[in-house]
Amino acid sequence: MYQESKIPCVFLRNANAKTFNYIVCGVAGFLFFFGWWLMIDLNAQHRTTMRENTPYHLPGVFASIAMLLMNMIPTEYLYNSGVYTGGGCCTPFLCKLFLLVTLMASFGCLIGATYVMVNDFMLDPEQYQWPGYGVFFQTLCIFSSSVLCRFCRRGDAY
């Protein structure tokens, strides 16, 4: 008879929200650390390329700022059904708009890192291409970390 194959991470499906959130936040923290460790390694290995062109650091810096801003919004404000209800500065509509702006900034950082990788490194065959890949992968790791922290958590376990 046909047996269902077991995936090694199936235990996360039945895990309670707090355990799942710990694991997701741990993976997100590792991705954030790995992204910045990659940039530190690029600065150590390719000093002249990275230090002469300080704009190569900007996609990672702005992606980190966007990560902080994206995760500042409480989850219950985003999933509130009333769009224009409540007074003050933290209405659900403004929180959703703020999240949209931070997501646009994060995607802009990815686009900027792609531009740096393609325009400054891949189009010149004589230049060593690893710094361009490193800038892109750093921004991709930070972006993945922010998306994991924001959208992959379950409920309010805290």
Domain boundaries, the chain: 10-151
- Left if phi > 0, otherwise alpha if psi is -120 to 50, otherwise beta: which for 155? left
- Regions in the chain scoring below 50 on pLDDT: 1-8, 157-158
- How high is the pLDDT of residue 125? 77
> Distance between CA 151 and CA 99 in Å, rounded?
11
pLDDT in tens, 11-55: 566 677 778 888 888 999 999 999 999 999 988 888 887 778 878
**Helix (H) or strand (E) segment spanning residue 19:** helix 17-45
In the chain, the amino acid numbered 61 is V
pLDDT of residue 89: 66
| Distance from the first to the final alpha carbon of the chain | 44
